[in-house]
Chain A
């Protein structure tokens, strides 16, 4: 177990290092001179020179990379050029919307996926299975932001159960905050939940065909008992893989959904920074997102070991 964790940790660090190099390269090296890029065509030469000095562009690239990375590690994400405020603080405010929204959506999608997947697998080939699978096939095909537009139209504008957009803020209480994130979370969770339900079903069906399920049945377990006691935990292994992959889609989805609901999250920050050509913010926020994806995949790897004893003992 220790060796496995160590290996995954080493690979996590390598991935982070390579990813940060790639981001640094694309943002700071490819455009040639980031300062003149950020200021646009018509900038005065002395303004550009000032920004160059400000950004430390006169220093060698390796030093710039190292100072960026060490800064990020110590919580210093640089200072936004357009807003003149520390990026770390801008990000921190917005994380309080994006992260809860992503987690809310993940929880909802698991809540959809597990019952639907298990139900369908247990009734394989029967009308119940066909219905659930038809519904998930449709769910997979629906773009979440399009679904979101109609959620707004029906539940916010016609029925007025929710606000059409904006965020109430956590200072008004947990419920108010969650209430304004509910429609976006549903929009995100439905397609994701549909995908997971399909994976859950096919993983369960595969495992139910394994020899050890037959052994369990020979001991006197009913079909249902064999499913719950033996198949489910084995089926979790492929499901975990997909959950890990879904995280990256969920983050992308969150950023897009924030546009539909006018939520002041990371997504808004990124799009504002892109149109303002504020490379400092873009660079740091992208690094943060990539960091999140890599760390979550590391956690998924650890979860594998919790489920599968063969990984634990592979010393």
Chain B
């Protein structure tokens, strides 16, 4: 018996084909995960079930929900199905709720719009579902506004709206991608529990194979708008047929080969560094408050060492990065470079900045769109007193681009001509070009698809061999940090709670928070 049956669905937007001949089924109580990289059409598949498609979309095929073809329904009929028979949870909980309405009103609206019950009953029902998704009334009354809740709590509200009328099918589009790993684990557990209790079918869209392996009964792998492989989770992982599936799996568990680190010799020493902000005065005559984002952090980065820094959002890892780069002053502690103190009035000396460079997370936002690649990657020359000019400059540019696997001819192109992975290579070229002693990678592969990510990690490992890089790799992604660092630090609420050799920390964590993080992170099954 199937609940949802997508049959030969093809979809194009303004003549541009997005989906080709997609077929899949979901049974009641079954969790089906659709996975693939960006551009695979997995989200568009979900939205076509909801019939929430951009204007100019043309579809063919059938989407049967309990025998009713959703593609043949009129708009009012579709409205009656949405929210009642099919609920949906979205990727971005921070923007998915109306900022000017209370959570109670937004949850109750699901009932009221379908005239399922009286306003009083809808209120009561809203209280029930909110409690059910983990937002009990004593702590989260209906009168709360979305901005008073955290991302994970907001996602719970969205789930409450989606399940309020006990739909037969729930669709979740990357429901945990925007969340921290511990929150992700809680939300995934909640979804699993709801499916088990209500017997809903769950169609889950995710790019994360590890999440899929822990959740799904069946997997649908998509690539470029087509289903390439489908099957029960355990069986599919055991016996992957399609090369794309195998590639995806290999990239997700990719291990790089780091060259051996040289014997320890301290390069950068951080001692009890404090970064505090003034917070707004609670009332006009009060003293401003103080918030310590970094609370006395100490660590040493050895020359040639690859050090990892992991922690969830808001733990202070970005603030620490900015302070190290001299972009923000610190309010206490010492920073030593090669044994010499480098703080002047709390700010890292400009003379030291040329010895550190940064690679950013967002391959799209970290370049001025109006400049060409040669100008972009030579921007750090500003830090040098004797920046190369003329043919020496050209030679340096060519070398840097070649080192990251691009062509010297790419120097005259604009950034929009490159893909995300290529842009990240250019970002690394920009960081390398002045041969800094230390590179900071701030979530440098987090925005990339797994296959691209694997290649960039390989590049970093290669550069370790050729340039003897020293770096600090900052990430929320435990598996990435595990593969590219020698030593790792775990940060929580402005403090480093644990540090040690990477393998040791991951296999035998000593701090409870580290254990929580590692337990919460979804893992792929071990298969040969």
Contact = CB atoms under 8 A, between A and B. Distances in A.
Given A211-B90, A307-B100, A220 B75 contact: no
Interface in B75-120: 75-76, 79-84, 87-88, 90, 92, 95-101, 109-110, 113-114
B284 A212 contact: no
A215 B100 contact: no
Given A215-B158, A216-B109, A217-B52, A222 B76 contact: yes
Tell which of B50, B82, B87, B100 has the most Cβ of chain A within 10 Å.
B100
Nearest to B55: A125
A57 B253 CA distance: 86
A206 interface: no
Given A309-B145, A310-B145, A217 B82 contact: yes
A219 B113 contact: yes
B97 A212 contact: yes
B101 A230 contact: yes
Given A225-B113, A233-B100, A315-B282, A218 B88 contact: yes
A3 interface: yes
A23 to B, nearest CB: 28
A126 to B, nearest CB: 11
Contact of B82 (A3, A220, A307, A309): A220
B79 A222 contact: yes
Contact of A308 (B99, B113, B280): B99
Nearest to B164: A219
Which of A234, A307, A309, A315 has the most B CB atoms < 10 Å from its CB? A309
Interface residues of A, number: 27
Contacts of B145: 309-310, 313
B284 A220 contact: no
B139 interface: no
Given A217-B82, A218-B82, A221-B113, A313 B101 contact: no
A210 interface: yes
Given A219-B82, A233-B100, A313 B148 contact: yes
A229 B80 CA distance: 17
B273 interface: no
A45 to B, nearest CB: 53
B432 interface: no
B161 interface: yes
A314 to B, nearest CB: 8
A6 B286 CA distance: 14
Given A220-B82, A220-B110, A221-B113, A212 B95 contact: yes
Interface in A209-261: 210-212, 214-222, 225, 229-230, 233-234
Interface in A50-103: none
Nearest to A233: B100
A240 B88 CA distance: 33
B162 interface: yes
B147 interface: yes
Contacts of A222: 75-76, 79
B370 interface: no
B283 interface: yes
Given A214-B90, A218-B162, A309 B99 contact: yes
B100 A313 contact: no
- State the majority secondary structure of interface residues on A: helix
Contacts of A10: 284
Contacts of B95: 210-212
Nearest to A225: B113
A220 B80 contact: yes
Contacts of A233: 100-101
A10 B99 CA distance: 27
Interface in B53-86: 75-76, 79-84
A220 to B, nearest CB: 3
B376 to A, nearest CB: 31
Contacts of A6: 284
Interface in A291-315: 307-310, 313, 315
B99 A310 contact: yes
Contact of B83 (A3, A220, A308, A310): A220
Contacts of A309: 99-100, 145, 147
B113 A3 contact: no
A217 B280 CA distance: 38
A6 B283 CA distance: 10
A225 B110 CA distance: 12
Given A215-B96, A219-B110, A220-B113, A310 B82 contact: no
Contacts of A225: 113
Interface string A266-310: 000000000000000000000000000000000000000001111
Interface string B109-152: 11001100000000000000000000000000000010110000
Nearest to A212: B98
A101 B308 CA distance: 68
A17 B114 CA distance: 55
Nearest to B282: A315
Given A212-B96, A215-B158, 16 more contacts: A6-B284, A212-B98, A215-B97, A215-B98, A218-B162, A219-B110, A219-B113, A220-B81, A222-B76, A225-B113, A229-B109, A233-B100, A234-B98, A309-B147, A313-B148, A315-B280
Interface of B: 50, 52, 75-76, 79-84, 87-88, 90, 92, 95-101, 109-110, 113-114, 145, 147-148, 158, 161-162, 280, 282-284
13 contacts: A3-B284, A6-B284, A212-B97, A216-B109, A217-B52, A218-B90, A219-B110, A222-B79, A233-B101, A234-B98, A308-B99, A309-B145, A313-B148
Interface of A: 3, 6-7, 10, 210-212, 214-222, 225, 229-230, 233-234, 307-310, 313, 315
Q: Nearest 9 pairs between A and B by C-beta?
A: A220-B83, A219-B83, A211-B95, A218-B88, A220-B82, A212-B98, A309-B145, A219-B110, A215-B96
